[in-house]
Structure 1
């Protein structure tokens, strides 16, 4: 292990106040989309029951989504809720690490579900007590891969300045893209799986910590822009899911992971544990097939998906937070997939 590898000192998660049970969403979706799609919706209704999700959290109550909401309204909610979640996640991560806000030299903020200029950290710096010379690194556009790519970036920045502390904050408010007037499979899938959440981590290149970031990398498939992303509509973002992502995971992710490990003189035999972004129940099953994992090896992923839904970039941070609560030995492989279409990968070892 590199002497000055970046160490994760703490990781904290946060969710908004409104709990949305899947059965409630299924009933309401049947009313709304049933009127739009008629009998065609009956073929899509199983998406809700097969999602592997019991509940999710939303920054807005269900009734908010029945009103006409355009860019101004959605952006206002994004700013309000993002600032609250930023403060909660960052405060808890700093407290867990025993670090004061004034000790943070760099803030990496990851979010793809809203637009803020100046970026989110600038809005809360004074309230949380960050220094006026703290370096700000906002990251946009990575979608579900953003949590792991953001963690990789934060780790590299920590290694670049040994002894300096870096704060990573990941905030995704996916529910703000819900549209009750659009009958498309992509919109119905988004309605069935997406939730809101935030996570924060403190990193430092030095002794101690919960885990050490070892290697990180990305792979972007050629001609894959249409696999996943946001469509910019007059009234807000619209979800893009135009390929069979589980099939891509099953057949194409393993060679990419093997190549990543080979570049660092490793093989899958060197991996003792896994933490993946659980995009959905079918994606988890595809990951198990791709990496030949026995049932139960991805239990953290299934539990996070069931309890919180797909929170885009924040989800893998929730999975990692669970993993770090347990004592583990050996090397861990982490992975997430996002727009690009891109795989973000990382290996970790106990600190």
Structure 2
């Protein structure tokens, strides 16, 4: 069999490179139970701290978290009644289905399509687990086609919003006539450990909020920012920095103080290399959509990329208004940008997040 000359492959490669993914709609759903950070501090102390433990550290963490308000899956007075993992996970399922449906319905409506138009549904959550998964239950509940493709994702944590967009792009490059949807459902408050005064549990109690978000993506030229490229980075020997220790009481958070150092050491060079592959540098980026992992993480991102003052203001505002919603955070930021005034056509953007692994994910956008 004759091996084709290199130039004979050029048309196929050019055709593939012309395929694009457009993010046509985003919708966020927040629980109705909204609290000021100041009002939550002592209530979370009652839940998480053993009787008699000093609250100075708890109060200092709540003051310095950069959070003003948060939404919780349940009224705060109901959390002491969640005495084991089964009860917390059942609450995640009930609230998650409601918020997930709200987020999906809003995104589909904004895109002008119906549930039966969805060809792929990717559903991510790190705060609960079920089989059948949330996506299976929602597909039936909302009337999606029986042949809808589904990918439930667990384990990516905060990075899953960015990574999920990357996987939608991968799919749509091979199926350019399809419609793909990413749904994130993160009810972080249901993972708080009662009577656990560890630093990691207190940090989680100061930072995290609850919410869901959905993104509709389509192949081909469509309204909305275009996904130009994506890249993931997994850093060896950092597994201990972020994740869960799973036991009888459920998901016990692992958050290591060394995370900002890893961000400073690796994120800048890796993101610059990613941008350089597209003929760009950080100075060419007009819109930054960064996961609001907390004040120290945001400061580390700004430092390692030498970003100008104000470049991450959207992340700081999101952290203040809803806290860290894990994988849903960057999707909410994407919605905010569209709602408050889209960047001018031709503007380059970077959406980035970090998560367990320890890992990072970059998405290059163009409006």
How high is the TM-score relative to the length of structure 2? Answer: 0.91
How far does residue 78 in structure 1 lie from its aligned partner after superposition? 1.0
Tell me, yes or no, if the aligned pair for 1:13 and 1:89 is still in contact at 8 Å.
yes
Partner of 2:39: 24
Partner of 1:108: 122
Backbone CA RMSD of aligned residues: 1.8
Q: Distance in 2 between matches of 1:240 and 1:57?
A: 22
How far does residue 57 in structure 1 lie from its aligned partner after superposition? 0.8
Q: Distance in 2 between matches of 1:259 and 1:231?
A: 33
How far does residue 25 in structure 1 lie from its aligned partner after superposition? 1.7
Summarize the alignment of residues 1-351 of structure 1 with structure 2, pairs less than 5 Å apart.
2-31=17-46, 35-36=50-51, 38-39=53-54, 41-325=55-339, 326-329=341-344, 330-350=347-367
CA deviation string 1:24-80 (max 9, x = no partner): 1212245556655734x4244311001110111111111122225212101111110
Structure 2 CA distance for partners of 1:37 and 1:183, relative to 1, 3 Å:
farther
Structure 2 CA distance for partners of 1:3 and 1:307, relative to 1, 3 Å:
same
CA deviation string 1:129-183 (max 9, x = no partner): 2101111111110000000001111121122111111111111111111123111
Secondary structure of 1:45's match?
A: helix
CA deviation string 1:83-142 (max 9, x = no partner): 111110000000000011111111111111111111111112233121011111111100
Q: Distance in 1 between matches of 2:155 and 2:134?
A: 15
Q: Distance in 1 between matches of 2:232 and 2:197?
A: 34
Q: Distance in 1 between matches of 2:163 and 2:156?
A: 8
Structure 2 CA distance for partners of 1:263 and 1:294, relative to 1, 3 Å:
closer
Q: Distance in 1 between matches of 2:261 and 2:58?
A: 19
Q: Distance in 2 between matches of 1:76 and 1:29?
A: 21
- My pick for the range that moved more, 245-254 or 3-12, is 245-254
Q: Distance in 1 between matches of 2:67 and 2:56?
A: 19
May I ask how many residue pairs the two structures share in their alignment? Answer: 349
Q: Distance in 2 between matches of 1:34 and 1:243?
A: 20
Structure 2 CA distance for partners of 1:33 and 1:169, relative to 1, 3 Å:
closer
How high is the TM-score relative to the length of structure 1? Answer: 0.94
Secondary structure of 2:331's match?
A: helix
Structure 2 CA distance for partners of 1:222 and 1:115, relative to 1, 3 Å:
same
Tell me, yes or no, if the aligned pair for 1:57 and 1:308 is still in contact at 8 Å.
yes
Tell me, yes or no, if the aligned pair for 1:111 and 1:171 is still in contact at 8 Å.
yes
5+ long unaligned stretches in structure 1 = none
Structure 2 CA distance for partners of 1:269 and 1:303, relative to 1, 3 Å:
closer
Q: Distance in 1 between matches of 2:140 and 2:189?
A: 28
CA deviation string 1:251-274 (max 9, x = no partner): 331112112223344322332221
Q: Who wins on radius of gyration, i.e. which is larger? A: 2
- My pick for the range that moved more, 219-228 or 256-265, is 256-265
5+ long unaligned stretches in structure 2 = 1-13
Tell me, yes or no, if the aligned pair for 1:145 and 1:338 is still in contact at 8 Å.
yes
Q: Distance in 2 between matches of 1:117 and 1:33?
A: 29
Structure 2 CA distance for partners of 1:4 and 1:282, relative to 1, 3 Å:
same
Runs of 4+ in 1 over 6 A off after TM superposition: none
Q: Distance in 2 between matches of 1:17 and 1:338?
A: 27
